[in-house]
Amino acid sequence: MEIVYVYVKKRSEFGKQCNFSDRQAELNIDISPNPELSSLYVERNPVDTGIQCSTSMSEHEANTERFEMESCGVNHIEGGWPKDVNPLELEQTIRFRKKVEKDENYINTVMQLGSIMEHCIKQNNAIDIYEEYFDDEDGVEVTEEAPSAKTINVFRDPQEIKRTATHLSWHPDGNRKLAVAYSCLNFQRAPMGMSYESYIWDLENPNRPEIALKPSSPLITLEYNPKDSHVLLGGCYNGQIACWDTRKGSLVAELSTIEFSHRDPVYGTIWLQSKTGTECFSASTDGQVMWWDIRKISEPTEVVIMDISRKEQLENALGAISLEFESTLPTKFMVGTEQGIVISCNRKAKTSAEKIVCTFSGHHGPIYALQRNPFYPKNFLTVGDWTARIWSEDSRESSIMWTRYHMSYLSDGAWSPVRPAVFFTTKMDGTLDIWDLVFKQCDPALSLKVCDEALFCLRVQDTGCLIACGSQLGTTTLLEVSSSLSTLQRNEKNIASSMFERETRREKILEARHREMRLKEKGKAEGKDDDQRDEEAALNLEELVTKAEQEFFDVIFSELKKKEAEALKKKPKPKKASVETDGGEEMLGEVIGEEEDTGEDVGGEEREDVST
């Protein structure tokens, strides 16, 4: 279809001026759409086209003329001699130079510059300012950041009836899991319906425990096997030992028979370093320490009774409340008792009596924690009553270092595995103390209030950065310590070891002195046949008190009588008599003072009692 418009114009009208005028619109062509044509096409839906809203530009290259470049150095051979002087002619140059030197300006300039220059030369000779002053000291001083710790995570007991978290154990590989033992330690006051379950938590998930362990009696202690990370050992409230394999499920895999187990709750269980990795031992307040082999758990392989009189009497035995075993000293182990005594024992002794090597007493209450220093195994930490004490195996009479008495009972303690001078303690008021012996010895370096209820147990992860503590309501808090507390400072090992040695020496000296004094006393007592002397040596307190009182009053009365006699001799006026008696009383006061000054030490003490 062609669209055609015919434009007709007369020849005479060519070149005529155009007169434009308005005209109505005319419809020239009307082409209606032909729907049949659409059959020739296929609809494309959707249509994908690129659209850009920008100015359209074009690219064009042009080649410029080549520019030659060359790199070369400039060598200055001879100065800018004036034109008349030929630099090669020696005479001319000398003449020129001489001329310049005669110039006054030259002279003045050189004098001036010379003085400045001399100053700098002398300066250089006096001090070498670019000298390395601190070559010997390597590195910058460690930035002193204040020790700090922050809570990372909190794991709450999902049970409704809250139980105390009594023991924590970190997973041996990678420390990603934490096993917590829950039980109620109040004697016969466990609430009805309290669940016996203990949990293994994954650190990433604080909402739900990963695995629940179901014993027949609540677990007091729980330990991962360091050789096999699927096996756990638990000590029960009823005295049995139970063993779990996490691959097999949450029910007990092995359980000791109740006849041969402990009679009291099992407070300490530790795995032993053995080739089979199945040996462990446990301690309980019934005074027995038992060795077990997991494969045959129905009976203990060995039993030792904690009787310090070495008579193997169960009635005399001390209840064990904490157990310590260091794999580097495989034959020795230590037991902390309820009576505040630490018993050091040797497993390989031939007779049972020799098993108990020595005792250390110093606490007033049960020893809740006992651990050797991972760097210096001769020193160990005990935590009990209101103090934490550090002992040395050499000094048996007393601890070498101790903290002051705190306001609340200490419940658990542990050394840091990376720093020999750092240890942690938890208290019954919910605070966690971090002690740094290199920094300060009388106060904790950091004291944190972890929760409002009492904290019962504490466990440090092997890297030394993370600490887990369990509280009375079953809440386990995970804390991270600042790097200054978890990285070994330079010289720290030396400082810590010298500190321990120094304190041990001090204690030894004191011990020696005590021994001397005791020997002297004994010597005196043995030397005399006098019975009275013997009685005095026996140090009966009551007798001494009455004796001292007697002597005191005797002396006073004799003085008084003397004064009265003198007063009677002179001519007494009634007033004077009273004055004299007053004076006598005053004299009495003075005499008393004198008596106190001259009194013996023992007598003096008694006198103080009398006066109060």
Per the listing, tokens 């209450």 go with: 365
Q: Within 112-171, which residues bind other proteins (CB under 8 A)?
A: 112-118, 120-122, 124-125, 128, 130
Shortest Cβ 74–other proteins spacing (Å): 9
Nearer Cβ to other proteins (7/133): 133
Nearer Cβ to other proteins (38/109): 109
Site string for other proteins, 383-412 (x = CB under 8 A): ------------------------------
Size, binding site for other proteins by CB under 8 A? 32
What are the tokens at 425? 């303690």
Nearer Cβ to other proteins (4/120): 120
Site string for other proteins, 3-32 (x = CB under 8 A): ------------------------------
Per-residue b or e along 153-187, where b marks 16 or more CB atoms closer than 10 Å to that residue's CB? bebebeeeebbbbbbbbbbbeeeebbbbbbbbbee
Own/partner pairs, 327-336, CB within 8 angstroms, 24+ separation: 327/273, 328/377, 329/372, 329/377, 330/272, 330/273, 332/357, 333/281, 333/289, 334/370, 334/372, 334/380, 335/268, 335/283, 335/289, 335/306, 335/370, 336/366, 336/367, 336/368, 336/369, 336/370, 336/382, 336/384
How many whole angstroms from its chain centre is CA 214? Answer: 33
Nearer Cβ to other proteins (91/138): 91
Nearer Cβ to other proteins (55/125): 125
Nearer Cβ to other proteins (122/569): 122
163: closest CA among 186, 141, 140, 142?
A: 186
Nearer Cβ to other proteins (122/350): 122
Omega before residue 35 within 30° of 0, cis? no
Shortest Cβ 226–other proteins spacing (Å): 58
Phi, psi (degrees; rounded to nearest 5) at 110: -65, -40
Nearer Cβ to other proteins (99/208): 99
Nearer Cβ to other proteins (76/275): 76
Shortest Cβ 94–other proteins spacing (Å): 11
Shortest Cβ 328–other proteins spacing (Å): 54
Cβ atoms within 10 Å of 72's Cβ, excluding its own:
5
Q: Within 322-361, which residues bind other proteins (CB under 8 A)?
A: none
Please answer whether residues 254 and 215 qualify as being in contact, where contact means their C-beta atoms are separated by less than 8 angstroms: no
Shortest Cβ 69–other proteins spacing (Å): 22
Nearer Cβ to other proteins (121/303): 121
Shortest Cβ 89–other proteins spacing (Å): 14
CA dist list (Å): 372 to 209, 383, 390, 428:
31, 12, 9, 23
Please answer whether residues 360 and 353 qualify as being in contact, where contact means their C-beta atoms are separated by less than 8 angstroms: no
Shortest Cβ 92–other proteins spacing (Å): 12
Shortest Cβ 137–other proteins spacing (Å): 22
Task: Provide the 3-class DSSP secondary structure of residue 360.
Answer: strand
Shortest Cβ 77–other proteins spacing (Å): 7
Q: Within 225-244, which residues bind other proteins (CB under 8 A)?
A: none
Shortest Cβ 461–other proteins spacing (Å): 52
- Which residues are within 8 A (CB) of 499 and not within 5 positions of it... i.e. 6 or more apart? 401, 421, 437, 438
Q: Within 79-118, which residues bind other proteins (CB under 8 A)?
A: 79-82, 96-97, 100-102, 105-107, 109-118
The amino acid that residue 105 corresponds to is N
Shortest Cβ 132–other proteins spacing (Å): 12
Q: What is the dihedral of CA 390, 394, 398, 401, to 10 degrees?
A: -30
d(CA 498, CA 505): 10
d(CA 214, CA 199): 9
Nearer Cβ to other proteins (109/309): 109
The amino acid that residue 402 corresponds to is W
What are the tokens at 276? 């089979």
d(CA 432, CA 429): 9
Nearer Cβ to other proteins (103/145): 103
Shortest Cβ 109–other proteins spacing (Å): 5
Nearer Cβ to other proteins (101/535): 101
Nearer Cβ to other proteins (132/542): 132
Task: Provide the 3-class DSSP secondary structure of residue 531.
Answer: helix
Nearer Cβ to other proteins (133/187): 133
Shortest Cβ 130–other proteins spacing (Å): 7
**Helices 541-569 and 601-611, packing angle to 10 deg:** 80
d(CA 363, CA 338): 10
Shortest Cβ 108–other proteins spacing (Å): 9
**Ramachandran region of residue 418, left (φ > 0), alpha (ψ -120 to 50) or beta?**
alpha
What are the tokens at 507? 């204690």
What are the tokens at 312? 């193997």
Q: What is the DSSP-derived secondary structure letter of residue 151?
A: E
Q: Within 50-79, which residues bind other proteins (CB under 8 A)?
A: 76-79
CA dist list (Å): 296 to 12, 249, 255, 329:
134, 20, 10, 25
Shortest Cβ 431–other proteins spacing (Å): 59
Residues that bind other proteins (CB under 8 A): 76-82, 96-97, 100-102, 105-107, 109-118, 120-122, 124-125, 128, 130
